[in-house]
Each structure stands twice: as C-alpha cells, then as structure tokens.
Amino acid sequence: MEIDLRDLPDGASELDLELDAASFSLAKEDVELEGPLHVHLHLDRRADEIWIRGNAEGKARQECSRCLADYGQNLDLEFDVFCAKVQNPNVVSHKAVDEEDGGIHLHDGRTLSIDGEIREAVILGLPMKPLCREACAGLCPRCGEDLNQGPCRCGDAAEGK
C-alpha cells in the first residue's frame, strides 16, 4: 500500500483503508487473516516530515495452544510511524538510520509505503500463547481427547481400576 505524498496536504488528515494480507506482504506462514484488515490512519504532515498514528482492526485465524482448535482472534492494533524525506536519494544512506534508530521511516517525497509497519503491528499484536477461550480445558494428556467436549474415556477407565 502506497500513499501518494503529492496529494497529501500539510496539516492533519485522515485515511481509511481496507487491506487484504497480500497488499502489505503478510505471508500465510506469519498469520492468516479472515477477511480484510480495516486500517484508519491519522496523518500529520509538516513539510517533509509526516507523523502517522494508525489503528488496524480485523480477525486472524489462530490455533489454540491448549486444545489445538482453530478459532478467530479479534485484532485491535495501534501503531505509530515517523517519516522523513531522504535528503539525497542518490547517496546510499547508512542502514543504522532506519534499522537501529528504530523510529524513522524514510520516503522519497513522492510516495510512502508503510507495509512493513502494518505487517509488524499485526504479527506483534498476536498473543504468544493463543487461547480459544480463557477457560480452555485443553487435551487429555493420555488419550488426546478435547476436554472442552466433556470428560474423556480414559478418565472413566482410570477411575474403574
């Protein structure tokens, strides 16, 4: 997704987008989205500097870490991006400005792409240990049956011994 900076006025402006995963290079290996990602951007432009505050909402397909069931994880993500114009686009800049400084996104004055920032917000916004619900009972360690469906058969057999 590219923003045409020639059409972006100075001062504050808003932009609403619906993006599919491919439009911001989100691979299925990273996460699978259920439908588009709804992105709202608040842009504040001061000459060649642009501050972007974004909110993204959508639904990701997850696998519960306890019962291994697939479920839809609601996403409500926020991200900030500070963008500045490359002073001399013919000179290769030091990578440390963008990578190690961790906050300045460079643009050429004509277009701006924040695909990486949106992709990063989605990936970092996912829980490290996804759960289909807080009270998920998980799988039986003996027989592997889903304990959310009720007690397993091996539990009954163990009680009869």
| Whether residues 104 and 147 fall in one domain | no
Q: What is the pLDDT of residues 48-103, one digit of tens each?
A: 889 999 999 999 999 999 999 999 999 999 999 898 887 765 555 544 444 444 56
| Whether residues 105 and 143 fall in one domain | no
Q: pTM score, two decimals?
A: 0.74
| Whether residues 160 and 118 fall in one domain | no
Q: For residue 97, what pLDDT is reported? A: 45
Token digits for 80? 């900030």
| Whether residues 111 and 156 fall in one domain | no
| Whether residues 12 and 62 fall in one domain | yes
| Whether residues 86 and 108 fall in one domain | yes
| Whether residues 144 and 104 fall in one domain | no
| Whether residues 47 and 66 fall in one domain | yes
User: What percent of the chain lies above the pLDDT cut of 70?
Assistant: 85
Domain extent, residue 45, equals: 2-130
Which contacts qualify for 131-140: CB closer than 8 Å, 24 or more apart? 131/64, 131/65, 131/66, 132/62, 132/64, 132/66, 132/67, 132/69, 132/71, 136/64, 136/66, 136/67, 137/66, 137/67, 138/66, 138/67, 139/66, 139/67, 139/68
Q: Which residue has the higher pLDDT, 46 or 24?
A: 46
Classify residue 157 as exposed, middle or buried by CB count within 10 Å of its CB (0-12, 13-18, 19+).
Answer: exposed
C-beta atoms surrounding 100 within 10 Å: 8
| Whether residues 126 and 140 fall in one domain | no
What total number of domains does the chain contain? 2
What's the mean pLDDT in 137-158? 84
| Whether residues 143 and 72 fall in one domain | no
| Whether residues 81 and 157 fall in one domain | no
Question: How far is residue 36's CA from residue 21's CA, in Å, rounded to a whole number?
Answer: 7
pLDDT > 50? residue 160? no
| Whether residues 120 and 151 fall in one domain | no
pLDDT > 80? residue 155? no
